[in-house]
Amino acid sequence: MTETSQTTEQKIEFKAEVSRVLDIVIHSLYSNNEIFLRELISNASDACDKLRYALLLHPELSAQTTPFQITITPDKANNTLSITDNGIGMDKDDLINHLGTIARSGSAEFVKSLTGDKQKDMALIGQFGVGFYAAFMVADKVTVQTKKAGSDKGYIWESAGSDSFTLNEDDSLPLGTTVTLHLKKEATEYLEPIRLRHLVRQYSDHISWPILLKDGDKQETINSASALWTRNKADITLEQYKDFYQSVSHAFDDPWMTLHYKAEGVIDYTALLFIPTKPPFNLFQPDRKSGIQLYVNRVFISDDVPDLMPFFLRFVTGIIDTNDLPLNVSREMLQKTPVMAKIKKGIVKRILSELKKRSEDKASYHKFWENFGIVFKEGLYEPIDERKEVAELCRFHVTGSDDFISFADYINQMKEGQENIYYLSGTDLKTLRNNPQLEGFEARQIPVLLLTDPIDEFWVQTFTEYQGKKIVSVMHAKNDLDKIAVSSSDTKNKLSEKEADKLLKRIKEILGDKIQSVELTDRLTKSPLSLITPEGQMSLHLERLMKANGQQIAYNSERIVQVNPKHPLIHKLAELINTNGNTQQIDNAIWVLYDQTLIAEGEALSDPALFGSRLNEFILSGLSVL
């Protein structure tokens, strides 16, 4: 930001990302522009909540305050709509930081997430917590008059939504904030009291502060002014739950699951929690705030309480209200008090129980899993007491089917003589399904879990057993494969011991220190070669993941080349070696087969051009024979 004037009025440029947001808002054809009122009322309610909490820590501020309320004032004569609150207010720095820039970490990621699709981008703006800018959907100019509690200085912020805003000092302003919208010609409907009443009841009826509507000399309260979570569930409609969810999450979808209950016992608390239908765009930002708001006896305490919800459930949003914490609880106390740990344990147990019920509807649950499974599986890695319950709710792709299955489903599909649960991890499902390592399992009809999420490589290191069955990589599965016969075994055309010895020795000589060793295998049915790593070393996929994330690796995993002694290419190669055939041709063949195996494993070739050159030679020689 650059200040262009040293007078009382300051003209300040918006940050680049704000300019882009405003451009999207102002030029958007988004049909649901009425949500601007929801966002501004939500901001006003937050301001009242924050001052109410500040009064607990600084009672001296109470001399300035009046009973909290939010007032909506339509002014047809001046074509303006004002939303006023007597909450905590803003000082100069707040105005610049909150309204002049996107005042949250990750603003660069936010801008990158903008898609160009106006409806999707508007949803992103709401989720990112910059709903104030929705005012520019209906206004061609916005004025903010504000004074912060405890301060003598007031300020007037104004912008036409272009590339800058102005700041003026006005110490005569009352405590709180008034946002005045200078409405566009096509937005005059928002000056009609009947329209405003409808919107408040639709979107903001749950706000716990009175929302007053001024209509000429008349003034009336147009919301219920009671916290939704304190009401009886039987008295709350699905629409009211939806409106509350959208208000606390700034989302535009419907909640996939709503959980509203009151826990009584050692710790008393009320929970109103939601699982979205669609994942929030910033689900994977490391510094993403928790979606849970903490209240103590209906007093807002904080919307950033990381100890209230485990990280693998960070997609859950809503509120927790308890009477078992002091109203003036500090952030440090929140981190230490056993009350929080007990509430957290109760919440997790209840969410997992509800998910178990919802999992009975497979179609609906699979949609949930597609959206949040990649996050939910982190619960298998986190050191929590509920890992068994988390495991029961996990779903996986599997060989031989396009459906998701559970661990229990997998155990029901296990072959007689099979002792372990097997998995194969990789980057994408299509590549995994064609991986040579699966051939021996498919020949024996042994199911294999196909794991494609980055977290999969980590939870299998810590969650190693389910119902007495070990969870084992296919690369270390020799025992089961030896015990289970192939349905149609082909024993002819086996290499002689002499041919095999020469072949393995030559492959090792050519590939040198690229590999640890070479061995024959009966685990392959279609491919000539495959690669595995020795037991105890990281998988090839995990090694790639760590390198891609710039993580230091003490040593690379060693490669073991497995050779299919029944494959025609291997027979031809062994024959050439045994008869002292063309040395260059043999060497090129070994390199081409090895590089093909790397590609099948999802590995990058160190010299793709050389691979192409060798492959072209073989194609040319093959065409010459025709």
The helix or strand, by DSSP H or E, that contains position 275, with its residue range, turns out to be strand 269-276
Q: How far is CA 4 from CA 112, 141, 164, in A?
A: 29, 20, 11
Average pLDDT score over residue span 580-608:
86
Query: Kindly report the CA angle at 83 between 81 and 84, in degrees rounded to 5?
Result: 135
* φ, ψ for residue 607, nearest 5 deg: -145, 80
> What is the tens place of the pLDDT at every residue in 210-222?
999 998 889 999 9
Residues 387, 227: Cα–Cα separation, whole Å: 34
Higher pLDDT, 21 or 75: 75
Give the bridge partners for 321, in sequence order.
270, 295
Contact 384, 310 (CB under 8 A): yes
Domains of the chain by residue range: 10-224, 230-358, 396-489, 497-625
* pTM of the predicted protein model: 0.70
pLDDT of residue 580: 82
pLDDT of residue 26: 63
Average pLDDT score over residue span 230-241:
91
State both tokens at 159. Answer: 């912008």
Q: How far is CA 239 from CA 45, 201, 205, 224, in A?
A: 21, 11, 11, 15
- The 3-state DSSP class for residue 212 equals strand
- The 3-state DSSP class for residue 307 equals helix
What's the mean per-residue pLDDT of the chain? 84
Residues 71, 220: Cα–Cα separation, whole Å: 10
Higher pLDDT, 403 or 534: 403
Residues 329, 623: Cα–Cα separation, whole Å: 80
> What is the tens place of the pLDDT at every residue in 21-55?
666 666 653 456 887 898 899 889 989 988 988 88
Name residue 516's amino acid.
Q
Contact 42, 81 (CB under 8 A): no
State both tokens at 462. Answer: 């810590």
Examine domains 10-224 and 230-358 and report if their fold is the same.
no
Instruction: Report the CATH fold assignment for 497-625.
Output: Four Helix Bundle (Hemerythrin (Met), subunit A) (1.20.120)
Give the bridge partners for 529, in sequence order.
563
Instruction: Report the CATH fold assignment for 396-489.
Output: Rossmann fold (3.40.50)
Q: Long-range CB contacts (< 8 A, 24+ apart) of 234-241?
A: 236/260, 239/202, 240/205, 240/206, 241/274
CA 6 to the chain's CA centroid:
45
The owner of tokens 């805003």 is 165
Assigned CATH for 10-224: 3.30.565.10
> What is the tens place of the pLDDT at every residue in 327-367?
667 666 777 788 998 999 999 999 999 999 999 999 999 99
Residues making up the chain, counted from first to last: 626
pLDDT of residue 36: 87
Given 3.30.230.80, 3.30.1360.70, 2.40.50.140, 3.30.2420.10, which CATH number is that of 230-358?
3.30.230.80
Contact 355, 429 (CB under 8 A): no
The helix or strand, by DSSP H or E, that contains position 483, with its residue range, turns out to be helix 478-483
